[in-house]
Structure 1
Amino acid sequence: MKVAIAGAGAVGRSIARELVENGHNVTLIERNAEHIDVDAIPAAHWRLGDACELSLLESVQLEESDVVIAATGDDKANVVLSLLAKTEFAVSRVVARVNDPRNEWLFDDAWGVDVAVSTPRMLASLVEEAVAVGDLVRLMAFRTGQANLVEMTLPADTSWGGKAVRKLELPRDAALVTILRGNRVIVPAPDEPLEGGDELVLVVSPEVEGELRALLLPPST
């Protein structure tokens, strides 16, 4: 997969390093010469310049990228790059970093963003996930809010204990991705029995979250 990343700070370099290690073709674009460190990720293609400049994007053949990641520390730059990537170069997948949560409303499909990643929101979700038993926690949004990755931890006394996964009549727009049980990652086979304390990871549309909560986490009587 060919990936272009704008921003070679700590975030951009970390993403690039992992993608390169997984065998992907990565181009890093950075406007600050002090952040250019070819030796840090020698397998990546490094370009010095402003990722909001059309001429530079043309020079790196952005239209050939499968994914563009706007990972700079400037929300304005990330939004502009996302729009250019989508409208001028028809990139199919654009991921943008949100630095200031107050700017999240800008990062949608109108600005070319397919997935917006807000570090503060993700950290808050992880905190909630660590303490929230018997509730639904949103971990990540896909397709600009059209679907969410959520986690639900079944209470120890759940009524679903011992029942097979196939007994779950999930809403139409919800899919069980995996079950986390202790140190195990369990593929949700139809005959797999559920247990109290299971962490269920699902992809759902926002409209059915309430229905899902009512199904898996009914109020105690």
Structure 2
Amino acid sequence: MVAATGDDEDNIIICQLARDKYGVPKVIARVNDPRNQAHFDLLGISPTVSATSNILALVEHEVPEHELVHLLELRKENLEIVEVQIDKDSPSAGKRVEKLPLPEGSRLISVMRNGTAEIAVGATELQPGDQVLAILEPGKEDELRRVLLKK
């Protein structure tokens, strides 16, 4: 069941009724105001979709000044997907994935190079200009940033 009204309170009530009164096993809710996300989380309403958060992530993705962009938060799984742009001064440029001291709780999942994406494997060598997708536990962003971007 999907609750996608323009009102967060209505979406919460719809999900609670569907789940608790009618036994609907899977409820999905639209979150209109990201400040209300904690209420959905507290009531166990998951997954949720927030257009505002998704639009912000897309804007960050297009702003080149951001070196690490949050693309997707998987709250239920306690994971995040981020994108990192490798430049010529990145300590990871010219190194194979298997040689990188990635923080525990993180993995590189793909590398986009010249418009073509490939799955990141140990033998994949990172090059300047690569856009790298990583999946990691929340709070590991700074460690990942140090490994991939900072000397």
TM-score (norm 1): 0.59
Q: Does 1:171 align with 2:103?
A: yes
Decide whether the 8 Å contact of 1:101 with 1:120 is kept in 2: yes
Using the aligned pairs only, state the percent identity.
35
1:133 offset after TM fit, Å?
A: 5.1
Q: Distance in 2 between matches of 1:75 and 1:175?
A: 34
- In structure 1, list runs of 5 or more residues that go unmatched: 7-69
Correspondence 1:109-120 to 2 at 5 A: 110-120=42-52
* Structure 1 match to 2:61: 129
Instruction: Give the letter aligned to residue 155 of structure 1.
Output: D
Which of 2, 12, 19 is 1:79 aligned to? Answer: 12
- Distance change (3 Å), C-alpha of 1:134 and 1:86: same
Q: Does 1:98 align with 2:41?
A: no
* Structure 1 match to 2:78: 146
* Structure 1 match to 2:142: 210
String of CA shifts for 1:130-166, please: whole Å, max 9, x gaps: 1235622111211258221211111233222221111
RMSD: 2.3
Q: Distance in 2 between matches of 1:156 and 1:117?
A: 36
Q: Does 1:107 align with 2:40?
A: yes
Instruction: Give the letter aligned to residue 5 of structure 2.
Output: T
Correspondence 1:2-13 to 2 at 5 A: 4=1, 6=2
Larger Rg: 1
String of CA shifts for 1:6-43, please: whole Å, max 9, x gaps: 3xxxxxxxxxxxxxxxxxxxxxxxxxxxxxxxxxxxxx
- In structure 2, list runs of 5 or more residues that go unmatched: none
State the number of aligned residues: 150
Q: Distance in 2 between matches of 1:163 and 1:134?
A: 22
Decide whether the 8 Å contact of 1:87 with 1:112 is kept in 2: no
Return the structure number with greater relative CO, CA threshold 8 A, min gap 6.
2
Range with greater deviation from structure 2 (76-85 or 184-193): 76-85
Decide whether the 8 Å contact of 2:4 with 2:29 is kept in 1: yes
TM-score (norm 2): 0.83
Q: Distance in 2 between matches of 1:192 and 1:97?
A: 38
Q: Distance in 2 between matches of 1:203 and 1:79?
A: 29
Instruction: Give the letter aligned to residue 90 of structure 2.
Output: T
Decide whether the 8 Å contact of 1:113 with 1:144 is kept in 2: no
* Structure 1 match to 2:115: 183
Q: Spell out structure 1 runs of 4+ moving beyond 6 A.
A: none
